[in-house]
Structure 1
Amino acid sequence: MEPVRILVVEDEVIVARTIANQLNQLGYTVIGTASSGQVAITKALEGKPELVLMDVILKGEMDGITAASQIREQLDIPVIFLTAYGDDNTVQRAKTTQPFGYIIKPFTPKDLRIAIEIGLLKHQLEQDLRENRDRLATLLNSMSDAVIATNEQGIVTFINPAAESLTGWKQADALGKDISRILQLVDEVTETSVENPVTRVLREQQVVYLNDFTSLITKNGSRVPIGDSASPIMRHPGQINGVVVVFWDLSERRQTQLLEQALLKEQEVNQLKSLFISTVSHEFRNPLSVIQSSVELIELQGENLTTDKRNTYLNRISSAVQSMKQLMEDVLFMGKSDAGKLECHAHPLNLKEFCRELLAEFTMIHPTSAEIIFSCESDRTDAFMDEQLLRYIFTNLLNNAIKYSPNGGNVLFQLTCDLIHQLAIFCVQDQGIGIPEADQARIFESFYRASNVQSIPGTGLGLVIVKKCVEAHQGQISIHSQAGVGSTFTVILPINYSSNAADEA
């Protein structure tokens, strides 16, 4: 290893020679001496020493402190002061040059050697630190992810180009400002402000992440969906020195997700269309076949047809026509609902009288061996509801109760009016085949039918229509069912429907 090269700056020639001799004896190389500040600067520029020993008092107008400052700025060479002055004023002036040592005369060769070695070590460490800092800055500046660093007060101390681009804030404007001004976040779903992740890290002292659907409000007010993580910078265990936030633009990913969702939705719609056509075609074919065969039998037997037989065929035709009419009404209802045109037109209504009239009409149109038992446990049953939607609800529920009870059994239809909570509670209970638990979560989906219906005809639209009508009333529907035991559908509706409440909902 070559000896360290040192420049000695001392106004007294004899002292300068003494120091030079001591340095040579210690194994250092003295490249020269200077007695004035200007000469010292010139020799430093020419000789490029690795260290300068500088006296504070020099010949000429420039003192050692001024000369050291210029050498430090131009060459980044470590300077150690040699002086007989240790007063506070001199020390404070010397500190502004960031010296690497300060030796008070007189000193021994051992003092000189220790000061030089420590000064060289400090300078090397400073260079290493500067290089690491520059390397880190280069790395952060080249990252595609946005990076912002703050101190322990949440004041911005660093912002890389990606963060500048994403936030709209230039580094010169962002440095020294509170992070809350640079990183403003909003919840895309609730439209409310999101707590700044830096604030959370400083409070919780751990890494935090943004929730999904969070957007950054840029300097110009636009929104950018982002993901981010914020981590504490620890000076000592348990002591936060600052926070670093790394975030990235999710716009492309969000657009890709939206496109995938749109494609998936289109596939679902196409599947529903195919299922709709298949189901409706099948359900139309059955009553049409009944009508066709009945008409052919009437024509074939002609005058030989007895009155009873004729009435049987005519009843079959009437029933088939009624099935087709009901199917068309269901299809038209679904079309109106999907178009957003399903509205609740409420009028004064006595629910007890309505239920009795509905049952009378239902049993006339749907003759069955099962008995429908209606009960009402309330004296006051006046309400404000849409009678047509109520007919859709309970005609479908009663029809299902009868249809899916092939072995008979009574059907219970109950009405209770809770005047305290202003709710009407309807229950339709059967003793039929029930609904398997695995099917119950999907029973209100279009065209979905339980796995145990077997050959019982149906479109899978009835309960969908019921649910839509209940929701139009701002009500709720629930099911309790057990396969092989039966089902109970409970419908809860506000006694006095309010269009204002519906608009708010």
Structure 2
Amino acid sequence: MHDVKILIVEDEGVEALDIQHRLISLGYPTPDIAFSGEEAVQKAGEISPDLVLMDIMLPGEIDGITAAELIKACLDIPVIYLTAYADDNTLQRAKITEPNGYIIKPFRERELHITIDMALYKHQIEKKLKESEKWLATTLRSIGDAVITTDQNGLVTFMNPVAEVLTGWQLEEGRYKKLTEVFNIINMYTRKPAENPVKKVLQEGFTVGLANHTILINRNGAEIPIDDSAAPIKDSRENIIGVVLVFRDVTERKEAEEALRRSEERYRELAEKLRVADERKNEFLAVLSHELRNPLTSIRNSLFILDQAEPGGEQARRAKGILERQVGQLSRLVDDLLDITRITRNKIRLQRERIELNELVRQTIEDHRALFEASGVQLETEFAPAALFLQADRVRLVQVVGNLLQNAAKFTGHGGKTRVSIESDTAKQRAIIRVADTGVGMAPEQVSRLFQPFMQAEITIDRSRGGLGLGLALSKGLVELHGGEISASSAGLGKGSEFVVSLPLDSISGAELQDVPAEGPRRSRRVLIIDDYTDIAESLRELLELNNHKVAVAYNGPDGIAKAREFRPEILLCDIGLPRMNGYEVAGAFRRDEELSNVYLVAMTGYAL
């Protein structure tokens, strides 16, 4: 109290001195005196008083009201107005400056003392409140979430910088506007306006959160996914005086959730594909077991017959025929498996040459005619009227056409019909092969899966049709390697099927092609075989010797190299997967040896991929 510095502003000297003496008598330090508005502003800046007693009616350009306004604005010093009289206009001006008190002249010391204490107390409270508000505003501006406050009518009173960025509204523009104008939210999926959270808080009086999938449409029309909560602001009597709304941009979280959802969906699809693949694998293994056991059983039976039958007799000839057919069947099964794997891994290389399609198909049909006759299926053909030349791998195209013919014979019942036709599409420069039958036909769902490996249109427990279901998958891969397409269609079960192959015609004229030189006469060669599989080595030796070649055999790499130095072979047939010293190492040793470096090397392996 007694260290409070007071500045008296009074143009009447006697009056100023009287107030000074009264303050001293009340225990205040000797106050300074200013006699004009200009002097008051100057002294306030110099001495920084704790309070100013300001006469309203001052002479000069700056009256008491103006001086008080300047002092409060620049120095934040409380002001008490002293006045004996004033008109309404002057008093209204004084109110605008928000003084800390009024004293009407004349006054008593007690009145002066109480007014000063109240002014200082009020100023102290206001200063703390301003500091608290400043601290709160600074805190709200610095947090990462967006904050909007409203009054009890739902009008915006505050927005922090994050809220300004997200909504597109500056605080000064948005203040006292309806929240729904500044904070425009909709449901992400229905596109309908979302419930106003502030309105709900004002009605129900407790904290609420936004529903999921809420979009904020900002002032510029941009859409931002958000989540938020709104809570009531209450006074000391628990009356709601406003609402604070806190919200945040959840774009990254939504993107992460969507990425997670897509990932889970992708994994579910992969899991389903793996499940289907596992089922198909199990079905394939069951079919493969059947297709291997049947030929092996026939081979074992035939070997027993050969042991018991008279050499060269009818039983021996029939057993030999069975052996040839069943070994051929096993070879085709293995070749189909290898081919489908090679196609999948892009390991097949076509040996292209210029071929005439009519002739190739005609020869392939003749090779399979006995199959149709045995099945009681009528075979009709129609060839293109003119030659159709392709640049293609002859063996692979025969394989494709053969697969289609075998399919037709297999799935067309006795008395049915198969028609093979060839035509050309000159506009598209394509040759077309059609194979149509009157057989078992297919359901639509079977057509869509027909060219997948290990698929057959009919799967029955007796496996009367036979095969691994690889032929059409192989055909599709081989046709596509030639730049062509293959398709299948059926009117339904029991209504037959049609397969169509489209291949690009050759654009090279016959004059550009050179004749392949004729193969020279064969002569006896010196051949060395290195293979750790004794049966293969010995059977290959006998086969070559039957063709008048001189043959030596070794069963591992070091022995093979030693034997080569003695035997001096022209040709080496060497297994790659040898123990101790593999085929690559054997080949390297041959190439480094001056005496063996010119030997023609041929690699042999059961790993055919």
The reply to whether TM is greater than 0.5 is yes
Corresponding letter in the other structure for 1:105: K
Look up the match of 2:555: none
Q: What RMSD in Å do the two structures reach over aligned CA positions? A: 3.5
Name the CA distance, whole Å, in 1 between partners of 2:89 and 2:50: 28
Q: Which secondary structure state, in structure 2, belongs to the residue aligned with residue 233 of structure 1?
A: strand
Task: Confirm or deny that 1:134 pairs with 2:134.
Answer: yes
Name the CA distance, whole Å, in 2 between partners of 1:284 and 1:263: 30
Name the CA distance, whole Å, in 2 between partners of 1:107 and 1:326: 119
Look up the match of 2:267: 267
Name the CA distance, whole Å, in 2 between partners of 1:228 and 1:44: 49
Look up the match of 1:318: none
CA 1:280–1:72 in 2, change beyond 3 Å: closer, same or farther? Answer: same
Look up the match of 1:204: 204
Look up the match of 2:371: none
Asked if structure 1 preserves the Cα contact closer than 8 Å seen for 2:156 and 2:178, the reply is: yes
Cα offset for 1:202? 1.9
Give me the identity figure in percent.
42
Look up the match of 2:113: 113
Q: Which secondary structure state, in structure 2, belongs to the residue aligned with residue 206 of structure 1?
A: coil
Cα offset for 1:176? 2.8
Which structure has the higher relative contact order (CA within 8 Å, separation 6+)? 1
195-204 or 285-294: which moved more?
285-294
Look up the match of 2:394: none
Look up the match of 2:245: 245
Cα offset for 1:30? 3.2
Q: Where does the alignment leave 5 or more consecutive residues of structure 1 unmatched?
A: 304-320, 337-364, 366-387, 389-505
Corresponding letter in the other structure for 2:264: L
Asked if structure 1 preserves the Cα contact closer than 8 Å seen for 2:235 and 2:241, the reply is: yes
Q: Which secondary structure state, in structure 1, belongs to the residue aligned with residue 221 of structure 2?
A: coil
CA 1:326–1:233 in 2, change beyond 3 Å: closer, same or farther? Answer: farther
Task: Confirm or deny that 1:214 pairs with 2:219.
Answer: no
Task: Confirm or deny that 1:282 pairs with 2:295.
Answer: no
Asked if structure 1 preserves the Cα contact closer than 8 Å seen for 2:20 and 2:31, the reply is: no
Asked if structure 2 preserves the Cα contact closer than 8 Å seen for 1:9 and 1:33, the reply is: yes
Counterparts of residues 381-396 of structure 1 (less than 5 Å): none
Look up the match of 1:12: 12
Larger Rg: 2
Look up the match of 2:162: 162
Name the CA distance, whole Å, in 2 between partners of 1:254 and 1:63: 63
Cα offset for 1:88? 5.3
Corresponding letter in the other structure for 1:191: R
Look up the match of 1:185: 185
Task: Confirm or deny that 1:234 pairs with 2:234.
Answer: yes
CA 1:331–1:222 in 2, change beyond 3 Å: closer, same or farther? Answer: farther
Counterparts of residues 72-91 of structure 1 (less than 5 Å): 72-85=72-85, 90-91=90-91
Cα offset for 1:87? 6.6
Name the CA distance, whole Å, in 2 between partners of 1:335 and 1:85: 109
Name the CA distance, whole Å, in 1 between partners of 2:442 and 2:261: 31
Q: Which secondary structure state, in structure 2, belongs to the residue aligned with residue 77 of structure 1?
A: coil
Name the CA distance, whole Å, in 1 between partners of 2:206 and 2:13: 62
Cα offset for 1:114? 0.9
Name the CA distance, whole Å, in 2 between partners of 1:184 and 1:275: 48
- Per-residue CA deviations over 1:272-316 (Å, capped at 9, x if unaligned) read 22222111221343355456656777895999xxxxxxxxxxxxx
- Per-residue CA deviations over 1:240-280 (Å, capped at 9, x if unaligned) read 22211111111111111222222223332332222221112
- Per-residue CA deviations over 1:427-483 (Å, capped at 9, x if unaligned) read xxxxxxxxxxxxxxxxxxxxxxxxxxxxxxxxxxxxxxxxxxxxxxxxxxxxxxxxx
Name the CA distance, whole Å, in 2 between partners of 1:216 and 1:335: 51
Asked if structure 2 preserves the Cα contact closer than 8 Å seen for 1:55 and 1:81, the reply is: yes
The normalised TM-score by structure 1 is 0.57
Name the CA distance, whole Å, in 1 between partners of 2:71 and 2:256: 58
Name the CA distance, whole Å, in 2 between partners of 1:83 and 1:117: 19
Task: Confirm or deny that 1:42 pairs with 2:42.
Answer: yes
Cα offset for 1:65? 2.3
Asked if structure 2 preserves the Cα contact closer than 8 Å seen for 1:31 and 1:49, the reply is: no
Cα offset for 1:326? 13
Look up the match of 2:54: 54
Corresponding letter in the other structure for 1:281: K
Corresponding letter in the other structure for 1:170: Q
Name the CA distance, whole Å, in 1 between partners of 2:2 and 2:115: 19
Name the CA distance, whole Å, in 1 between partners of 2:45 and 2:18: 24
Corresponding letter in the other structure for 1:14: V
Q: Which secondary structure state, in structure 2, belongs to the residue aligned with residue 262 of structure 1?
A: helix
Name the CA distance, whole Å, in 2 between partners of 1:201 and 1:142: 25
Look up the match of 2:153: 153
Name the CA distance, whole Å, in 2 between partners of 1:334 and 1:109: 108
Name the CA distance, whole Å, in 2 between partners of 1:165 and 1:26: 56
Q: Which secondary structure state, in structure 2, belongs to the residue aligned with residue 30 of structure 1?
A: coil
Counterparts of residues 94-493 of structure 1 (less than 5 Å): 94-237=94-237, 239-287=239-287, 289-290=289-290
62-71 or 205-214: which moved more?
62-71
Q: Where does the alignment leave 5 or more consecutive residues of structure 2 unmatched?
A: 306-314, 316-410, 412-439, 452-461, 463-491, 493-609
CA 1:237–1:330 in 2, change beyond 3 Å: closer, same or farther? Answer: farther
Asked if structure 1 preserves the Cα contact closer than 8 Å seen for 2:184 and 2:216, the reply is: yes
Cα offset for 1:24? 1.3
Name the CA distance, whole Å, in 1 between partners of 2:121 and 2:127: 10
Name the CA distance, whole Å, in 2 between partners of 1:250 and 1:333: 43
Name the CA distance, whole Å, in 2 between partners of 1:61 and 1:186: 59
Name the CA distance, whole Å, in 1 between partners of 2:73 and 2:22: 28
Corresponding letter in the other structure for 2:113: R
Name the CA distance, whole Å, in 2 between partners of 1:2 and 1:247: 51
Q: Which secondary structure state, in structure 1, belongs to the residue aligned with residue 22 of structure 2?
A: helix
Asked if structure 1 preserves the Cα contact closer than 8 Å seen for 2:2 and 2:27, the reply is: no
Name the CA distance, whole Å, in 1 between partners of 2:85 and 2:107: 13
